Amino acid sequence: MNRLFQRSLISTAVLGVCLGSAVSFASSHREAPFITKAPKVDGTDFYMFRSYEIGRENTVTLIANYLPLQDAYGGPNYFDLDQDAIYEIHIDNSGNAQEDITFQFKFTDVEQDLQLAVGDSGATEQVSVPLKNIGGIGPGPGDTGSVQMTQTYEVSVIRGDRRTGTAEKMMNTLDGSNTFIKPVDNIGGKSFSDYQGYAEEHIYAGAFSGCNGDVRVFAGQRQEAFAVNLGEIFDLVNTNPLGPRNAETNDLADKNVTSLALEVPISCLTGVAANSAGQPVLGGWTTASLRQGRVLNPQPMADGTGASVSGGAYTQVSRLGMPLVNEVVIGLKDKDAFNASQPMDDGQFATYVTNPTLPELLEILFAGTAVAPNMFPRTDLVTAFLEGVPGVNMPVGVTGSEMLRLNPAIEVTAFGMQNDLGVLGGDNAGFPNGRRPIDDVVDASLRVAMGALISDATVAPNNTAPFTDGVQVDPANLMVSFPYLNTPLPGAPN
């Protein structure tokens, strides 16, 4: 080993251990300081809902999105996930703020050095090409001969603690293996003759013990479904918070994202947690973790000595349950800490919910228009975001903690009939009873923050005000079947 690399390895490893014990890490649409340095493990959105695809209503769909703000033309490497990371979806079916089932995704790079013969007939050299692919791809998942690097993945089902529980690998029922293939990102119309059809070939049937019924899994690029007036919101809410709901620009409309999607029978997820009517309640959140130490190689080589070496225990750097919590609720100094934490320890962040700053900021920015509720502690927010909606998705004896909660006994609302304000709009199949892709979580959260759940108008003068960021989810950007998020935008048209 090169001496310079040896010295770098030792010093960086020591530094990594020190940082790992002194600093927490983070995640969600670039909302926390650390995660801006590690976009491949940045969890952006988490969806959990009773499936509304016709004939699949007895299942729950879980979708965890990572690697935000993808420009479709982002070559030559595009947007593979990190093979040194683990990506996880956690289910709490006992109401104690601890995971009972974890679905863990682990990706593996599959590389082949594609070369072209360059030179005249007397002196030809085989030279490695610089592009992702050198020919058309598909239509099947095995047709990757013209692609330099693809990815496969395994899904482990862990019961109990995510690190010490009982684990098994999900079986690919197509071939009996434990391996699934991630589709190549949508490079463009010349590389793919039919990307939608190609991607659908990567929807797999899976199976794991103790679960009777059809499981489906997909991991790959999708069109970004979340809608938000991102630029203006972070420019001191530089918009009309009481204007029309669809008058502003969705800054994510031209972006893609990478989705990890599972469809699992309801009976394979439910446990003892139930609401006051005896209906089951599921809690869910998603995380990503990296090895504690990462050492940069000053002399990366093509012989397998890569640009970095990772080691040590997995450390959580990303966490997402309820949308927008770390972006607009948790204070800047604690954003990294929140994303390294677990729901069972959320008491340390309780002040951010009981005494929220967002309503006060809106009152300052829109004097005379926005009036923050004058009720402390904000028990209405504790109920909505940390416990669940009474009679809907609040488990009896629930441990207050931040996660999505879903009552899968509530009948689905058919696509096209769904109210994007969810429970606030009279549609109990929507947010915050889980979250569907159509749900306008920005508007719903703004209204709840400004007192929509407080009946006394003298305490919450804006409790009926229609607060909005001016953007709604476009149903045309969604699918009516698994994996529900639309075909990703191509890097170049046909």
Cis peptide bond N-terminal to 488, omega within 30: no
Helices H / strands E in the chain, number of each:
9, 16
Higher pLDDT: 4 or 212? It is: 212
What average pLDDT does this structure show over 248-256? 93
Q: Return the number of other C-beta atoms located less than 10 Å from residue 483's C-beta.
A: 25
Asked whether the predicted pLDDT for residue 8 surpasses 70, the reply is: no
Instruction: State residue 31's pLDDT score.
Output: 62
Positive or negative, the Cα torsion across 397, 44, 287, 153?
Answer: positive
| C-alpha to C-alpha distances, 252 to 23, 29, 488, 491, nearest whole angstrom | 31, 11, 12, 15
Domain count, the chain: 1
What average pLDDT does this structure show over 1-15? 35
Position 331 in a domain: yes
**Contact (CB, 8 A) for 16 and 296:** no
pLDDT tens digits, one per residue of 400-432: 999 999 999 999 999 999 999 999 999 999 999
Position 217 in a domain: no
Asked whether the predicted pLDDT for residue 245 surpasses 90, the reply is: yes
Cα 247 to Cα 445: distance, rounded to the nearest angstrom = 19
Instruction: State residue 326's pLDDT score.
Output: 80
Instruction: State residue 329's pLDDT score.
Output: 85
**Contact (CB, 8 A) for 233 and 469:** yes
Tell me the pLDDT of the chain averaged across its residues. 90
Closest CA to 217 of 105, 142, 321: 105
Q: 310-313 long-range contacts, Cβ below 8 Å, gap at least 24?
A: 310/84, 311/13, 312/16, 312/17, 312/20
Asked whether the predicted pLDDT for residue 388 surpasses 60, the reply is: yes
Task: State which amino acid sits at residue 431.
Answer: F
Orientation of helix 441-449 relative to helix 358-365, angle to 10° = 90
Query: Which of the four pLDDT bands, split at 50, 70 and 90, describes residue 6?
Result: very low
Positive or negative, the Cα torsion across 92, 93, 97, 99?
Answer: negative
Instruction: State residue 231's pLDDT score.
Output: 86
Query: Which of the four pLDDT bands, split at 50, 70 and 90, describes residue 474?
Result: very high
pLDDT tens digits, one per residue of 321-331: 999 888 778 88
Instruction: State residue 310's pLDDT score.
Output: 87
Q: In sequence order, which residues have a C-beta less than 8 Å from that of residue 210 and are 6 or more positions away?
A: 268
Position 447 in a domain: yes
Position 489 in a domain: no
Position 308 in a domain: yes
Tokens of 102: 């974890």
pLDDT tens digits, one per residue of 86-101: 999 999 999 999 999 9
Coil/strand/helix, residue 150: strand
Instruction: State residue 304's pLDDT score.
Output: 62
Instruction: State residue 305's pLDDT score.
Output: 67
Position 54 in a domain: yes
Strands 255-265 and 59-71, by their bridges, are antiparallel
Instruction: State residue 22's pLDDT score.
Output: 31
Cα 477 to Cα 191: distance, rounded to the nearest angstrom = 22
Instruction: State residue 324's pLDDT score.
Output: 83
Asked whether the predicted pLDDT for residue 71 surpasses 60, the reply is: yes
Q: For residue 204, report the phi and psi dihedrals to the nearest 5 degrees.
A: -110, 150
Instruction: State residue 29's pLDDT score.
Output: 58
Please give the residue range of the domain that contains residue 84. 3-99+223-477
**Contact (CB, 8 A) for 44 and 339:** no
User: 65 forms bridges with which residues in the sheet?
Assistant: 45, 259
Asked whether the predicted pLDDT for residue 160 surpasses 60, the reply is: yes
Asked whether the predicted pLDDT for residue 25 surpasses 70, the reply is: no
Task: State which amino acid sits at residue 476.
Answer: A
Query: Which of the four pLDDT bands, split at 50, 70 and 90, describes residue 21?
Result: very low
Strands (E), 170-326: 171-172, 180-182, 204-207, 215-223, 255-265, 282-296, 308-320
Position 181 in a domain: no
Position 291 in a domain: yes
Coil/strand/helix, residue 71: strand
Range name among 30-44, 163-177, 260-274 with the lowest pLDDT average: 30-44
Range name among 240-249, 304-313, 409-418 with the lowest pLDDT average: 304-313
Asked whether the predicted pLDDT for residue 14 surpasses 60, the reply is: no
